[in-house]
Amino acid sequence: MKIVIAPDSFKGSLTAKQAADAIETGIKRVIPEAECVKVPMADGGEGTVQSLVDATGGQFIRAAVKDPFNRVTLARYGILGDHQTAVIEMAAASGLQFTTASTADPRITTTYGTGQLILDALDHGVKRIILGLGGSATNDGGAGMVQALGVHLLDQSGHELSFGGGQLAQLATVDTSHIDSRITHTEMVIASDVTNPLIGPKGASIVFGAQKGANDEMRHQLDHNLTHYAAVLKQQLHVDVAQTPGAGAAGGLGAGLLAFTDANIRPGVQVVVAYTHLKEQAKGAHLVFTGEGSVDSQTQFGKAPIGVAQATKSVVPQAPVIALAGNVGRQINDLYGDSGIDAIFPTVQGVSALSDALQEASFNLSRTAENISRLVVKIQKSC
């Protein structure tokens, strides 16, 4: 029996690889001869670097870069097993984890460190960069990122703009003459499920500004600044990113990438499915396990379990897809049927404190996979 095991990480407890190992352990207790094909997954957000490095036999790289507040930090990214592709989570350098309730201020935070990660990846000779856009502390339209790449953003006096979305209203000139020439020869893939435009009522500042520390006045000022930024880019670079779907991702980093590189945006889980060759590895499978820490009504919107289900069903439509989760929400009916998931099982047994559930995640996951495997074997014998 061939069984594909393709979970996302169980946040706070297990990486996707650790979750896959735990599921395999449970299966092997019952079906020791099973061919278990483990494909760690992610959806473009946190854990994407870990999953793709694990799935492809790649390596992790650490680089000293600027955090959102212009302080030096060590950030990690990955180079995949093909040695040609880097995968970067922008949050590693420019994420919310660097902020506190008292310091969060998207008027001053910068994506400069994300640009430095891109440069470091280019120094390692990659030809392709996957950028996961999620968890940002920034609202600068990717201005800091492009400054790190060599672009000069100048005010009317010819001075370089300071970092942060609060400075963009001063932008007068965009000088791309010193941008790193390797960018034009590098394939840039944006892994993001965000479809918001850069500006307006559904834009980066208005929709996402509050979670980064902006009050109503700040959100509208930041939106005004990004509107000016987009107008200058349109006038001088002849690119219009103001209303492009996905340009508002990561505080407008999507817009910066679209304006200054040949990047294309793809749903995060589709990127991971492609680079892990999940469909090819699923051929001939009899059963598929997937899962993540929590499965609920939001899972249908681009989360890994749905991506796994749809990808594997496209090549082995008769193979049942079983999702495992530490927490299963009430509204999950939409996950069945056309979405591709056939059954959803919670892994936590009985009432448990969150701390205990996290600590026992591997044990619970293995036990649940074992019990499901016992049922599968019983059904097979009765047929």
Whole-angstrom Cα Rg for the chain: 22
d(CA 307, CA 111): 29
In this structure, CATH architecture of domain 2-41+277-382: 3-Layer(aba) Sandwich (3.40)
Please give the biggest Cα pair distance in the chain: 81
pLDDT digit string (tens) for 233-281?
A: 999 999 999 999 999 999 999 999 999 999 999 999 999 999 899 999 9
pLDDT beneath 70, residues of the chain: 351
In the chain the first and final C-alpha atoms are separated, in Å, by 15
Relative to beta strand 343-346, strand 321-328 is parallel
Rounded to whole angstroms, what are the CA distances from 286 to 2, 27, 124, 216, 380?
6, 13, 40, 53, 12
What's the token pair of residue 127? 């030809």
Strands (E), 182-320: 187-191, 264-266, 287-295
Give me the phi and psi of 218, to 5 degrees please. Answer: -65, -40
CA-based angle 59:361:355, to the nearest 5? Answer: 110
Q: Does domain 48-268 sit in CATH 3.90.1510.10?
A: yes
- Domain residue ranges in the chain: 2-41+277-382, 48-268
Torsion-angle region of residue 264: left (phi > 0), alpha (psi -120 to 50) or beta?
Answer: beta
What's the token pair of residue 313? 């069903």
The pLDDT assigned to 117 comes to 98
CA-based angle 224:230:231, to the nearest 5? Answer: 90
Give me the phi and psi of 21, to 5 degrees please. Answer: -65, -40
What's the token pair of residue 322? 């079983």
What's the token pair of residue 23? 């599921």
Stated as kind and residue range, the H or E segment containing 252 is helix 249-260
What is the three-class DSSP state of 286? coil
d(CA 88, CA 188): 11
Say if CB 191 and CB 133 are below 8 A apart.
yes
Say if CB 222 and CB 165 are below 8 A apart.
yes
The pLDDT assigned to 327 comes to 86
Report the predicted TM-score, pTM, of the whole model to 2 decimal places: 0.86
